[in-house]
Structure 1
Amino acid sequence: MGVQAHPLDPLSAAEMTTAATACREKAIAEGVERLRFNTISLQEPAKKELLAWYKAGCPADAPPPRQAFCILQTPETVEAVVSLPPGGPAKVAAWTPVPGVQPLASPDDCFEAEAIAKADHGVQKLLKEVYGIEDMELVVCDPWSVHLPPIGGRLIQTFLYKRSSAADNQYSKPLDAVPLVDLNQGKVVRIDTPYLSAGKGAELADRLAACTDVNYHRDLCEVPFRKDLKPLDIVQPEGASWTVEGQLIKWQKWHIRFTFNYREGLVLHDIGYKDGGRVRPIIHRMSLVEMAVPYADPNEPYTRKCAFDVGDYGLGNCANSLELGCDCLGNIQYFDALLNNSKGEPVELKKVVCMHEEDVGLLWKHLEYRNGHAESRRSRRLVLSFIATVVNYEYLFYYYFYQDGTIGYEIKLTGELSTNLVSPDESPDKPEWGTLVAPGVNAQYHQHMFSMRIDPAVDDADGGAGLVVSEVDAVAVPAGPANPAGNAWTTKETDLLSEAEAQRVCDAGCGRYWKIRNPASTHPATGKPVAFKLMPQHTPLLLAAPESSIAQRGQFATKHLWVTPHSDKERFPAGEYPMQHAGGDGLPKWTAQSRSLEGADPVLWYTFGTAHVPRPEDFPVMPCEVVGFHLKPFGFFDYNPGRDLPPGANKASKLANGHTNGHANGCCH
């Protein structure tokens, strides 16, 4: 028997093709001569409609309407909604021009921009005259969205590098040329050359000659590989512990529905934990919804170097097909995804989401020292992950589910540094705005700022309608009659009752965290509302000046926490179309209303990230840098929910010398 279709199931190839056909027919009727498909994705049902369907028992004959959401370029931006009734003809239900915005740069856009830059006669002439480069196959043009666009148009800037061979690491040989491509015109409209403009072009060929090959590719790596590594295998002889029903995953009392789209990549829905015979809701929807990656070099043209990777490119569009035993280790289940190309055709991404279990040390232990008896249980977590390559960087995204009800999220940053020549007015030995990571090669200071959208449903079948978000600090109690020894401290909990009050920053000095409470559900011992707490990682906020264009576009990164009342239309903290946008859209626009959060359905927007001061050790390929956070139950369960884990020793474990332990009554027996 097949799994019943769910309203959140991604579009099938047939549905995507049907939606594209309907849009083409509508474009002809509208007199559109040129139609390019930027996006074809599921239009998720409104939260109210989805919850009503759940409450009705998920009737197969009355699901929310099935629709596709399409972003089209004519070249004007158009949003189309296509109805996909079962067994009936598709119909364009909405056709809405959106003037003055630029949709994200699709994979086809990025390949096209590089091809245009390399074919341009001005670019070819410059490279030949300055560097003696005639073989354009050895030239690499990294396509970047344009912050602070100097002219109008649909622009992509391309940072240029030279390779010694097809597999060579181009970032060790940056060139002094940044062509600006207008995709609408299909041509290079400007070339920025800092050294030539400063009258220092004569030294460029010498600078390139001084650059050395610095490689990591298995065929080119300049250092010998280690020979002392022995196999380390992850083995599950009885298979994995999960079950999968369509897009629904069940593992160790967790119920998790997942989808994958062009922009957010992996999205989790309807996260719940089975407790006392029922699945208790925890999160309605959760995903990474924006990234800002501003660079700190104040020299032109690098002031234009700031990518909003979710809104400018789309994490799903940039996702990798993963490799067993390399990207994913152990007993693995993969999931494919379906996106579209610029012609509106379905494009299948194979093995784009990885699921596995992994051991993460002890969950709990106690040794009764009086008799030597110990009880311990090892912790296992379910991992859902995907990897996106956004030009030079790799971002590795991991959702973790633990046996004690904790949810973890990590992003691991790796890949290659985006490099450049030190600007003409800087000392080549001591660049002010970066680190020399190889001879003549500068890696600029920059930040990676991430925004997570968390729509909670803590023990609330209505999806979070009555939840309260509060801030909790640990505070010292002054010495006095109530605290004669001066040792007392307590917690101060402050409800965040409006959008203005709910713009908060981390404070490691008082161990600050944020709590999501459900007043309608109380703990049997404490009598207090059940809750989950957001445990932040104390990371820097946006370092750009408040009046800067970066801060205007990326205001979400000026606070660690924002809370807003739920709205189906409020999805992305820098706005629906951040590419080339002047700023002020998204969170700053919504929260300017200072709407009340009392009795609201709150949505949390959590900002975290890193200020990356590159190291020579980050080159030619960067070891993973890790950022993230946790959501932990706080009075949600009666007791430790991992208390029921069965005892038992891992029989595959052995001493390094090959001998057995020799103790027959250890803690696991």
Structure 2
Amino acid sequence: MTLTAPKTTATHPLSRMTAEEIAAAKAVVADAGLLRATSKFVYVGLEEPHKRDVLGWTPGTPIERRLRVLLLDRATGHGRDLTVSVTAGAVVRDEEIDAVAEGQLPILDAEFEAIEPILAEDERWVSAMAKRGLDVADVRAVPLSAGSYFPEEFGHRTVRVLGFHQADEADLPWAHPVDGVVAYVDITRGVATAVHDHFDLPVPAERGEWDGPAHPATPRDLKPIEITQPEGPSFTVEDDVVRWAGWEFRVGFDAREGLVLNQLSIDGRSVVYRASIAEMVVPYADPSPVRFWQNYFDTGEYLFARYTNSLELGCDCLGEIHYFDALLADEDGNPRTIPNAICLHEEDYGVGWKHTDLFNQMAETRRSRRLVISFFTTIGNYDYGFYWYLYTDGTIQLESKATGIVFTSAFRGEEHPYATEIAPGLGAPFHQHLFSARLDMAVDGQRNTVHEVDAVRVPMGDGNPYGNAFTRRLTPLTRESEAARASDATVGRTWHVLNSARTNRLGQPVGYALHPQNAPVLLADDGSSIHQRANFSTKSLWVTAYDPAERYPAGDFVNQHPGSGGLPTFVEDDAPLEDADVVLWHTFGLTHFPRPEDWPVMPTDYTGFTLKPVGFFDRNPALGLPRSTSSHCASHE
């Protein structure tokens, strides 16, 4: 496409969208006659060009900037999926969304905010609260994504609502679940279609504020720690491009995926073209008629990066910090800035390598260091941090941190074995946090093959007379039909992404290995609705051939989707994967059986994965680390 009148200040095809581009996109949509008084912008994000166009781009070449816009008409519930060329000033794609077949658009804040007034006028809800001695004005109505269960709801924007009592402004509602009652609300019509009062359980009475008298904190006397870098940080940031210790990448940010790392390379050699957390689901294990439907896709249903925290020095990050603001669109299509949304800093990481030799008097120690880029988001009761770490030995790590407040219920006793009692009469249902990392690999180029690598026992016999031998087995994943895999800790299973066209000095193909944490994948029954809707989470790894349209593992429109969207459809063409442009989709996460120690605020729990070089370098890439300059280290002399 020839561009004669660029209307963008973007300096790269993957430059983050600007306030001017958001405003221009809104104007284009309005000029096209697609906005009504009841229209809302659910999502506005950069529509990234095809990878070949990005890799073939040279500075100074005109850039066409396109934004994807999801519009909801609140009066009708109808959704539209648009592509807007900011450069050309035109809507270049306009598709109506079939809510029955494709699912609903994500849920708006404005829709959540409408729930309490709707239920306050519903006699059934008011009566259920009064039956328990509660004033409806003191009950927080918590709207939650409905899933896909009842045919009469298909095509209607629906949420399910649980109640939590709040006695005063300081009271923590999560401490007082009004269990037994659930409301189903059609948010387009603004009415409750049903209020079910299944059973009457006592509302837990103990208050839950972290600093309240019910939870006295034992003093922990700790003296301050100060992290200083007298000569400043070792990284540089220019136009969202970060360079540190041989690493280079471009920072991206999206309302749905949050932090994105683009074109990650080390020593000028590509490793990952694009890395993000493309989906997460939180399936609950309680089969109670009140809450069997609790399965939240915090990315696809709620666009979790909309709730990104503004980070604070000394609280969220320590040391010499560089902050990035995040720019999103609000529900009226106007630019919205989240200050200090992304934190970039360095951390000491202990001994990187060390040896004291008996023969040549070598006594050397080098300390490791890592670069940290992170953001935190709050989704209702939970807070999630996502931390990408880059190490001096070429390792890449993603760590997800889960904290906040566990979702609560009334505790029904040991005869209901799906929750833990965490305070008197207060339960916390069992659940999982399952994430999908989308890793668009580019190990020294775009032609990669994924091998499954298992440790293998060798039977005692010829060639192994003493039975001590073991080896490894590399199995190439040659087609998409073969590449939906499960982790297996009993054989130390990893997956190597190898480039056979590039070799190290020993003639071995260069590669990077994905090391999983070997936690359970989705535990719900194969016949369940959540199994169909979160099919990505039933496998530890999927490998697909690159397709720019395949961005989300559970599909584009997850809210109330009937199931089998995303990865099951991506692999239907059974594309070849040998020496191909491959994308890894890795499921990782936590299976959470809550403890009393998780209340009233949960200590941070951790999950993630690691990418380690395997033959990518000719030798230890951390040999060049400088000696410590600390006056306490004898080797500095």
Structure-1 separation of matches of 2:336 and 2:10: 24
**Alignment-derived partner of residue 458 in structure 1:** 443
Query: Among residues 55, 59, 70, which one is paired with 1:51 in the alignment?
Result: 55
User: 1:154 is matched by which residue type in structure 2?
Assistant: R
8 Å Cα contact 2:120-2:136 kept in structure 1: no
User: 1:528 is matched by which residue type in structure 2?
Assistant: Q
Q: Aligned ranges for residues 101-120 of structure 1 at < 5 Å?
A: 101-118=103-120, 120=122
Query: Among residues 304, 318, 329, which one is paired with 1:340 in the alignment?
Result: 329
Question: Do the aligned partners of residues 6 and 118 (structure 1) sit closer, same or farther apart at CA in structure 2, a change above 3 Å counting?
Answer: farther
Aligned residue pairs, count: 619
**Alignment-derived partner of residue 521 in structure 2:** 541
Question: Do the aligned partners of residues 371 and 118 (structure 1) sit closer, same or farther apart at CA in structure 2, a change above 3 Å counting?
Answer: farther
Q: Aligned ranges for residues 584-663 of structure 1 at < 5 Å?
A: 584-651=564-631
User: 2:498 is matched by which residue type in structure 1?
Assistant: R
Q: Aligned ranges for residues 415-426 of structure 1 at < 5 Å?
A: 415-422=404-411
**Alignment-derived partner of residue 420 in structure 2:** 435
Give CA deviations for 1:590-618 in whole Å, capped at 9, x if unaligned.
22332221332111111111211111111
**Alignment-derived partner of residue 194 in structure 1:** 198
Structure-1 separation of matches of 2:241 and 2:187: 40
**Alignment-derived partner of residue 21 in structure 2:** 15
**Alignment-derived partner of residue 486 in structure 1:** 467
**Alignment-derived partner of residue 476 in structure 2:** 495
User: 1:443 is matched by which residue type in structure 2?
Assistant: A
8 Å Cα contact 2:206-2:214 kept in structure 1: no
TM-superposed CA distance for 1:430, in Å, is 4.8
**Alignment-derived partner of residue 379 in structure 1:** 368
Give the stretch that moved more between structures: 335-344 or 560-569. Answer: 335-344
8 Å Cα contact 1:388-1:394 kept in structure 2: yes
Give CA deviations for 1:114-151 in whole Å, capped at 9, x if unaligned.
45445655434432x22333372x42222211123444
**Alignment-derived partner of residue 408 in structure 1:** 397
8 Å Cα contact 1:379-1:403 kept in structure 2: yes
**Alignment-derived partner of residue 207 in structure 2:** 213
User: 1:473 is matched by which residue type in structure 2?
Assistant: D
**Alignment-derived partner of residue 99 in structure 1:** 98
Question: Do the aligned partners of residues 534 and 154 (structure 1) sit closer, same or farther apart at CA in structure 2, a change above 3 Å counting?
Answer: same
Question: Do the aligned partners of residues 167 and 117 (structure 1) sit closer, same or farther apart at CA in structure 2, a change above 3 Å counting?
Answer: same
Give CA deviations for 1:368-405 in whole Å, capped at 9, x if unaligned.
23576520111110001111111111111110000011
Structure-2 separation of matches of 1:386 and 1:357: 15
8 Å Cα contact 2:41-2:71 kept in structure 1: yes
User: 2:96 is matched by which residue type in structure 1?
Assistant: P
**Alignment-derived partner of residue 470 in structure 1:** 451
8 Å Cα contact 1:336-1:349 kept in structure 2: yes
8 Å Cα contact 2:513-2:614 kept in structure 1: yes
**Alignment-derived partner of residue 71 in structure 2:** 72
User: 2:303 is matched by which residue type in structure 1?
Assistant: G
Confirm whether residue 27 of structure 1 aligns to residue 26 of structure 2: no
Please list every run of 5 or more consecutive structure 2 residues that lacks an aligned counterpart in the other structure: 1-8
Give CA deviations for 1:325-364 in whole Å, capped at 9, x if unaligned.
1111222111111112221111111111111111111110
Structure-1 separation of matches of 2:113 and 2:311: 21
8 Å Cα contact 2:310-2:339 kept in structure 1: yes
Task: Give percent identity, aligned residues only.
Answer: 39
**Alignment-derived partner of residue 346 in structure 2:** 357
Structure-2 separation of matches of 1:220 and 1:116: 35
Question: Do the aligned partners of residues 7 and 113 (structure 1) sit closer, same or farther apart at CA in structure 2, a change above 3 Å counting?
Answer: farther
8 Å Cα contact 1:389-1:395 kept in structure 2: yes
Structure-1 separation of matches of 2:15 and 2:364: 43
Give the alignment's TM-score, normalised by structure 2.
0.93
TM-superposed CA distance for 1:322, in Å, is 1.3
8 Å Cα contact 2:122-2:192 kept in structure 1: yes
**Alignment-derived partner of residue 582 in structure 1:** 562
Give the stretch that moved more between structures: 229-238 or 375-384. Answer: 229-238
Structure-1 separation of matches of 2:416 and 2:529: 24
Question: Do the aligned partners of residues 115 and 371 (structure 1) sit closer, same or farther apart at CA in structure 2, a change above 3 Å counting?
Answer: farther
Please list every run of 5 or more consecutive structure 1 residues that lacks an aligned counterpart in the other structure: 196-200, 654-664
Question: Do the aligned partners of residues 114 and 265 (structure 1) sit closer, same or farther apart at CA in structure 2, a change above 3 Å counting?
Answer: farther
Question: Do the aligned partners of residues 133 and 360 (structure 1) sit closer, same or farther apart at CA in structure 2, a change above 3 Å counting?
Answer: same
Query: Among residues 617, 629, 634, which one is paired with 1:666 in the alignment?
Result: 634
Secondary structure of 2:300's aligned partner? helix
8 Å Cα contact 1:541-1:560 kept in structure 2: yes
Give the alignment's TM-score, normalised by structure 1.
0.89
Q: Aligned ranges for residues 129-278 of structure 1 at < 5 Å?
A: 129-134=130-135, 136=137, 138-150=138-150, 151-152=152-153, 153-176=156-179, 177-195=181-199, 201=200, 204=201, 207-208=202-203, 211-216=205-210, 218=211, 222-224=215-217, 226=219, 228-274=221-267
User: 2:18 is matched by which residue type in structure 1?
Assistant: S
RMSD (Å) for aligned C-alpha atoms: 2.0
User: 2:143 is matched by which residue type in structure 1?
Assistant: P
